[in-house]
Structure 1
């Protein structure tokens, strides 16, 4: 008897590409128009939008408005036994960024302060506009909630996240 494969959605490559594009679409610049979404910021925000229960705690910690999260985003095996690899696995993120760069979905600039910073170009924006399923609408909602954290020091966000997951 053969076992049926179990596909874990969070490990599906193209789903992760789409989530990354949504993060880049909303969070690539500060409210003052400064591009500052470097690899480290992408990794932190990518982790937060994939873990809305952690996002809510971070928002509360920084006295920002929390979001209403569906019970299915709290009480799943995946959320109870948190996979923190998205926060620490730079190889996975590098593969995703390399893919979207080679596909021509992003523009990359270099700044003295932040190093290489990323934002979507028109091709990437076209892809994001086509992501209209309920799942992607939910991810977009989470990225919009994370907008209030763009101006926060990345080190202080990561320190707080680390205190939550230990």
Structure 2
């Protein structure tokens, strides 16, 4: 290709190829001795996208943690006040022969009945409104595939478990 004028060529190795990046670079250097070979990590555009994604992930983690802690605090206060207001009712249940386990289970069921629908509603809003909106914005600024947002992640189950435990 010495007769072809170019200033940049982007090569993609075929899927299933057993060649490592160093081997591909060595083969290119054999043919084009004066070539300056940069990996994807040295490309300016790739670095910009990678840095932007790192920042978004950090902000996402920070907001998630803040919302979780706020929700846990609100839930804790609400349940504490509810139990304080129902002390007489709890005493009546105990005198009627209900065990502490049965009473605790009843109040734990309140937490589950609040947590599950709220988590599902929150996940659907985050997934179908916020994430899709941010992905479309990213597509306008960067050249990325239109694959969409990952529909379900293990983080949802972990956060649902933590919220249920706190509630």
Q: TM-score range by the shorter chain?
A: under 0.3
TM-score by length of 1: 0.28
Q: Decide which structure has greater helix share.
A: 2
- Which is higher, the Rg of structure 1 or of structure 2? 2
Q: Decide which structure has greater strand share.
A: 1
